């Protein structure tokens, strides 16, 4: 599976209450965004992955903020279908490769991209996308390293997503704008579905 080609936008979600995981995932799928990255930043994140994997068959649920081999192990056991990391260490890449799951290792500089490309990894997360140089930096990477494609994440907004998606080395973009904390907390999944359907209309 090529994660970058499944959907133009990957919602990056922070789940505080596991009871919101399934309705949230259903709203994103209904809006047309089936690929969901649940960040391992909250105590219930792995439970959220487990529930979405079990109860929302049309979702492709993965774990984000994967930082250690232990995270890889836990995320895999919970039923993650892909793994995303904000950056990379050799131990982490070894563990992600060992999981057998598709994964997007994080990189933010030409050297980091080259280290990962040397290992045959040509699909990466570009993080933190906007602070690290945004569109101008991605365009600059496409010259010397055209074979590596990215999912930029970090600072991307609905108004700027299409500019990233227009780049030759961008497969999809990620972001938290689709799942505002207040909408999740108040159970306003209709708003989340609407945000998802607007994002799903963006095309590469």
Which residue, among 129, 130, 122, 111, has the nearest Cα to 149 in the 3D structure?
122
Q: Which of 16, 37, 112, 123 is catalytic?
A: 37
Which of 42, 176, 202, 204 lies at the binding interface for ligand 3PG (CB under 6 A)?
A: 176
Interaction of residue 160 with ligand 3PG, rule CB under 6 A: no
* Nearest distance from C-beta of residue 136 to ligand 3PG, angstroms: 18
Binding mask 26-55 for ligand 3PG (x = CB under 6 A): -------------x----------------
| Residue that is written with structure tokens 């950056």 in the block | 87
Distance CA 92, CA 136 (A): 28
- Residues 72-131 interacting with ligand 3PG (rule: CB under 6 A): 127
Distance CA 55, CA 202 (A): 27
Q: Which of 125, 139, 159, 163 is catalytic?
A: 125
* Nearest distance from C-beta of residue 86 to ligand 3PG, angstroms: 6
Residue 49 or 156 with smaller CB distance to ligand 3PG: 156
125 a catalytic residue: yes
Q: At what angle do helices 69-77 and 45-55 cross, to 10 degrees?
A: 30
Tokens of 122: 């040509």
Residue 138 or 146 with smaller CB distance to ligand 3PG: 138
Distance CA 76, CA 156 (A): 28
Which of 153, 169, 192, 193 lies at the binding interface for ligand 3PG (CB under 6 A)?
A: 153
* Those residues with Cβ within 8 angstroms of residue 153's Cβ, 6 or more apart along the chain or in another chain: 10, 12, 125, 126, 127, 128, 129, 173, 174, 175
Which of 79, 87, 155, 180 lies at the binding interface for ligand 3PG (CB under 6 A)?
A: 155
Interaction of residue 12 with ligand 3PG, rule CB under 6 A: yes
Residues 27/189, Cβ–Cβ less than 8 Å: yes
Distance CA 87, CA 66 (A): 9
Interaction of residue 154 with ligand 3PG, rule CB under 6 A: yes
147 a catalytic residue: no
Question: Where along the sequence are the contacts to ligand 3PG (CB under 6 A)?
Answer: 12, 39, 127, 153-156, 174-177
- The set of catalytic residues is 37, 125
């Amino acid at each position: 599976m090529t994660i970058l080609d499944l959907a133009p936008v990957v919602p990056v979600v922070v789940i505080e209450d596991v009871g919101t995981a399934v309705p949230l995932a259903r709203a994103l799928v209904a809006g047309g965004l089936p690929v969901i990255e649940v960040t391992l930043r909250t105590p219930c994140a792995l439970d959220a992955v487990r529930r979405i994997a079990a109860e929302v068959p049309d979702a492709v649920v993965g774990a984000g903020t994967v930082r250690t081999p232990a995270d890889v192990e836990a995320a895999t056991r919970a039923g993650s279908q892909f793994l995303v990391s904000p950056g990379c260490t050799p131990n982490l890449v070894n563990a992600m490769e060992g999981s057998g799951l598709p994964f997007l290792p994080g990189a933010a500089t030409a050297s980091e991209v080259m280290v990962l490309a040397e290992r045959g990894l040509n699909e990466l997360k570009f993080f933190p996308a906007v602070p690290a140089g945004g569109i101008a930096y991605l365009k600059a990477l496409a010259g010397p390293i055209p074979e590596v494609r990215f999912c930029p994440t970090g600072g991307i907004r609905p108004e700027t997503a299409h500019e990233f998606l227009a780049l030759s080395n961008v497969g999809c973009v990620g972001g938290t704008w689709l799942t505002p904390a207040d909408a999740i907390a108040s159970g306003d999944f209709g708003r989340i579905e609407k945000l998802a359907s607007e994002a799903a209309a963006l095309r590469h």
